Structure 1
């Protein structure tokens, strides 16, 4: 007996629509490996329609006083809370994520982040007006950039959608947002929620649009002449392609790309506490997090003890179905990602040692065991490249200088952490580590008030915080003569 697949649709100018040419793609639940829905495979006509809707809605939305945009965002946050169970179900099916963890670890921060940006809408900052030339007063205006083309990833489809639309809308921009082709369900539900709020409060529903599709759809969005800004969270390759494409018409670009976070553990660390926290930060969301604690550098004097403890923590960590409240993480997102993780493990050099895991779990879905690999060298592929799976590597370092050299010796520069009781050493390391975030004696907490973003091939621009809000604005100088 064949189960009928649910039909997801684009949301353009307040209407749910199929792709103009009718093409679709199947959406697979990674916990089962089976298709549960179809989504539009949007092409140029769909992108044109979404951009036209956003462009038409922009002047009125831009000209609202910030307090009015704040009302909209606060109402959206309220609706997220009211419809939390629907969002949880959609995200769990999207990603195979444990229901209990989506409820506790994603819904509350998402709601908080929307409310933060609702407040940020009313805190536009600039230099004080003043006379910097005799007879003239200068004023700074901070304005929205226009229509924003935004592409969200598949590891946190809901939360990354929030990180994109909330600051953009708060600043007065209009949005065309594309979810990953493997995880469109929760974003389509978000469109329904936001569209309902806009309609209820009397604003154009063209302020927020969602189109589903693949990489070609994203490419068409970035290449389109309408958007003033392109924002993407994704791979380094995708980010470089977006930057190259956007350069052709000088679009502003916001890129949050890959990571390979070093976790530097010194000899004075409480090993048991560090292992407990690092294993959670490395395996949460199946390690599919660009800030995940997956590259541990531990001082040689405690290396063996640390590896033994970490391997035990891995063995005690559970992956499994969405309704099991004892699991820390669910499956990898898709078959290609599972194959990539397997390739890294199958291709380990002879000097590497698998201390725990290293294998697929179960016959259904894309589950992979919590894995620890030791004995690695700095130039090994698994140390240099992002695995994006539940795999923690361990290297042994001899002193602080080597720890810094190896930490910085990758092409990514998003996040890092230092574990030590020595305050002066922690401060030295935080200065020397070339990463957008340095955690001390913790790894992975984020707050709406603080920026998230990296350097080097991890991209540029900031998510969250006032800095993230400012990324969606432009600065204008207005000078007036005092002669009247």
Structure 2
């Protein structure tokens, strides 16, 4: 069994790791079964640690201990819950460098992107703390004299959160912070391939909650993904499941939970387009396009997969784009000069290789890249491809740095092609013409959940609700009124008169 190398990775001790890592936390204790999983460093595929996984029995312990603590957490005033979430944010600030380093080590994104991911959780803590004093319902006019109506929002109970490898801490944080201030408890199943980040993040939340008298409000069940996932999605004691991952698995989660009339928040695949018109700021568009396409080695759900360029700027822009790709520094995520690190695992490399073969089979022309970089790590070349708009591979999401480029005549054709894929997460239009932009965000414009202008497809702030339409799943997390998904709404009618008039003027004489 591999034990943690504290000399090589001193930040592990700062995050509270000991010689052995356990996959379950609940009722104030860390525990596990005997089954293990390795945490692998994508830079060289060396084993960082062996983690003991949670069992189905541990899952049941989590649920029962959370049920026992549910009433106390629900009855705590929302601003008091917000204060605890604020404390989580402060602890995250203290651990930001260490946790960002662990994200880089285990996921493979460069160190500053790991830090940025932790900052997203910190920002969401701040947002949620303020929101805890602003959760509101409506007072509605009644058609009957001496009556009033109001909306009352109450927590659902236990919220299940299933997250993916590409944002191993931020996606949990964006769900947990909002769900917690709404009065819910959180049961988390992190990605099978980022167990250390799940444990470290859960420990930060759990330690703060324990200091405030709660041992099970946030519980981690880091077990076999299929096994624990099936338990959670079939469990009527978990009224809401928030899932982030592939469309294929999201469809299974959605169908399973809906069969028991549970609720879901689904954030699944993205196949995102950037459109650049000839009136745009070309230099700014180029910079944002490269960032959207290659950041996190193309493993962001909002990564730019498709680039549509107006015909008269196409040749010049492509030349600049290819030149920009030649300047991208690929390598060790902990090297300050590195722009992008490795793909997360060997499976990702195989997906990249298969996509390159399909591109060739579908008569695509590789303008740059297209190769796996030899060595111990999971490194590949960022790739630009010219291919027919109707090619089958353009309809799919390849979680790798592959960008398809196309010519378009005008904004109307661009909107058509933007919408002509099964996914609907993020989109971006570069233009300086307001007529184009308001067409872009209108009823016949982009059909995505994120519709940007003059910023990249992967540019999103926590203050807005994040998510997408169609095969992306329709869920929303983080800002705006996304909090409503974590609560149940009651419409309450109060009669404060001495008469009993019925709605719609109905008369019932007895």
TM-score tier, shorter chain, comes to: over 0.9
SS in structure 2 of the partner of residue 294 of structure 1 = strand
The secondary structure found in structure 2 opposite 1:386 is coil
Q: Which residue in the other structure is 1:260 paired with?
A: 271
SS in 1 for 2:465: coil
2:69 equivalent to 1:57: yes
2:215 to 201, 205, 217: 205
1:440 aligns with 2:440: no
Q: 1:96 to 1:424 in 2, by over 3 A?
A: same
Kindly provide the CA deviation profile for residues 359-393 of structure 1, in whole angstroms up to 9, marking residues without a partner as x.
Answer: 1224011111111111x112223311101111111
Instruction: Answer yes or no: is 1:333 the counterpart of 2:344.
Output: yes
Instruction: Tell me, in whole angstroms, the C-alpha distance in 2 between the residues paired with 1:248 and 1:430.
Output: 35
The reply to whether residue 467 of structure 1 matches residue 478 of structure 2 is: no
Question: Which residue does 2:295 correspond to in 1?
Answer: 284
Name structure 2 gaps, 5 residues minimum.
5-18, 499-510
CA drift of 1:299 comes to 1.2
Structure 1 residue matching 2:72: 3-state secondary structure: helix
Q: Which runs of 5+ in 1 are unaligned?
A: none
Q: Once the two structures are superposed, what CA deviation does each residue of 1:134-185 show, in whole Å capped at 9, x if it has no partner?
A: 2333222111111011101100101111111111111100010011000121
- TM-aligned CA deviation for residue 258 of structure 1: 0.6
Q: Is the 8 A contact 1:138 1:478 kept in 2?
A: yes
Equivalent-residue separation in structure 1 for 2:139 and 2:372 (angstroms): 59
1:16 aligned residue (15, 22, 30)? 30
C-alpha change, 1:138 and 1:270, in structure 2 (3 Å) is: closer
Matched residue, 1:127: 138
Secondary structure of 1:218's match?
helix
Partner of 1:80: 92
Deviation at 1:253, TM superposition (A): 0.7
3-state SS of the aligned residue for 2:385? strand
- For residue 130 of structure 1, report the CA deviation from its aligned partner: 4.6
DSSP 3-state at the match of 1:191? helix
In the TM superposition, what is the alpha-carbon distance from 1:33 to its structure 2 partner?
1.0
CA apart distance, 1:445:
2.2
Moved more, 281-290 or 186-195: 186-195
Structure ID, larger Rg: 2
Cα contact 1:272–1:309 (8 A) shared by 2: no
Deviation at 1:398, TM superposition (A): 2.1
> For the structure 1 residues 299 and 340, does the alpha-carbon distance in structure 2 shift closer, same or farther, using more than 3 Å as the test?
same
Is 1:182 the counterpart of 2:223? The answer is no
Partner secondary structure for residue 76 of structure 1: helix
SS class of match (1:221): helix
Rounded to whole Å, the distance in 1 between the matches of 2:143 and 2:134 is: 24
CA deviations 1:241-289 (Å, max 9, x no partner) are: 0011102211111101110111111122233321111101111011111
- The counterpart of 1:320, out of the listed 322, 327, 331, is 331
* Count of equivalent residues: 478
Q: Which has the larger displacement, 128-137 or 241-250?
A: 128-137
- Per-residue deviation, 1:222: 1.0
- Summarize the Cα distance change of 1:79–1:479 in structure 2 as closer, same or farther, 3 Å threshold: same
- Comparing 272-281 and 410-419, the one that deviates more: 272-281
Alignment of 1:17-166 (within 5 A): 17-19=31-33, 22-103=34-115, 105-128=116-139, 130-166=141-177
Question: Are 1:422 and 2:436 an aligned pair?
Answer: no
CA distance in 2, matches of 1:241, 1:43: 22
SS at match of 1:133: coil
Q: Is the 8 A contact 1:39 1:212 kept in 2?
A: no
Q: 1:107 to 1:3 in 2, by over 3 A?
A: closer
Does structure 1 conserve the Cα–Cα contact (< 8 Å) formed by 2:31 and 2:54? Answer: no
SS in structure 2 at match of 1:231: strand
Change (3 A) 1:350 1:147: closer
For residues 368 and 197 of structure 2, what CA distance do their matches in structure 1 show? Answer: 34
| 1:304 CA drift (Å) | 1.4
C-alpha distance in 1, partners of 2:330/2:481? Answer: 36
Matches for 1:440-459 after TM superposition, within 5 Å: 440-443=453-456, 444-459=458-473
Show the 5 A alignment for 1:358-369: 358-369=370-381
- Report deviation, 1:50: 1.3
CA RMSD, Structure 1 to Structure 2 (Å)? 1.6
Residue pairs, 1:236-251, within 5 angstroms: 236-251=247-262
Secondary structure of 1:325's aligned partner: coil
Q: CA deviation at 1:128?
A: 1.5
